[in-house]
Amino acid sequence: FFSTFPFSVDNMDPKLHKLSEDNKLHNSLINKLLDVAKKEANIQSEIKTLRTEINELNDIEEWQENALHSLQQSGQMIGEVLKQITHDKFIVKGSNGTRYVVGCKEAINKSLLKTGERVALDFTTLTIMRRLPNQTDAMVYNMCHEDPGNVTYKQIGGLDNEIREIREAIELPLRNPEIFKRVGIKPPKGV
């Protein structure tokens, strides 16, 4: 059947043959263009991923620079917020007991600075630099909830001198304050 078919590449009109070759070239170029478009889409996707990574690394760098800057700054002291005077002015008691009227760094959420909050103050400007977490000493906390039980002085061995001093300084003034008043000494009120 095909051998009797009148059209073949050999007996094709040269113009038609040229058109067929141009069509093949056109299809080849379209395929190459599609390949390039796919490669470009992949590269654009990679660029987007890399930009996201760059932004994340920039955020990390900024955080580390801020941490380094705060370490390089002059020292800070711990204070306790006593009262908020205005939107950005507070009365703070420093760690040495002195009270200061101080400003607050812009980046700090001032609504979180309530009475009793611990804060870090810059030594030079007396500005609240950051809010500190509440600090509870674990040893003190555990001692508050520790039950001493029913221990008598007789059960404590080897501390006779210390027990005598405790009885003289604490028990005697609490149980017999009149002895101290008779002698003219004000009874001690504890340790």
Query: For residue range 36-88, what is the model confidence (pLDDT) as tens digits?
Result: 999 999 999 999 999 999 999 999 998 888 777 766 666 788 889 999 999 88
Quick check: 17 pLDDT over 80?
Answer: no
Position 55, amino acid: N
Quick check: 133 pLDDT over 60?
Answer: yes
Q: What is the mean pLDDT of the chain?
A: 81
Structure tokens at 87: 């939107």
10 against 72, higher pLDDT: 72
What pLDDT, on the 0 to 100 scale, is given for residue 136? 60
- Judged by average pLDDT, the poorest of 5-9, 67-71, 104-108, 134-138 is 5-9
Q: Is-contact 52 94, C-beta < 8 A?
A: no
List the beta bridge partners of residue 132.
118
Which of the four pLDDT bands, split at 50, 70 and 90, describes residue 179? confident
User: Percent of the chain, pLDDT > 90?
Assistant: 25
Quick check: 5 pLDDT over 60?
Answer: no
The total of other beta-carbon atoms located within 10 Å of residue 121's CB is: 21
Residues 6+ apart with CB under 8 A from 180: 173, 186, 187
119 against 139, higher pLDDT: 119
Q: Exposed (0-12), middle (13-18) or buried (19+): which is 82, by Cβ within 10 Å? A: middle
C-alpha span between 54 and 161 (Å, rounded): 70
β-strands 127-132, 118-122: how paired? antiparallel
- Mean pLDDT computed over 99-114: 88
Quick check: 127 pLDDT over 70?
Answer: yes
Q: Which of 117, 118, 116, 79 is CA-nearest to residue 101? A: 79
The reported pTM is 0.37
What pLDDT, on the 0 to 100 scale, is given for residue 1? 45
Contacts of 59-63 with C-beta under 8 Å, sequence gap 24+, read none
72 against 33, higher pLDDT: 33
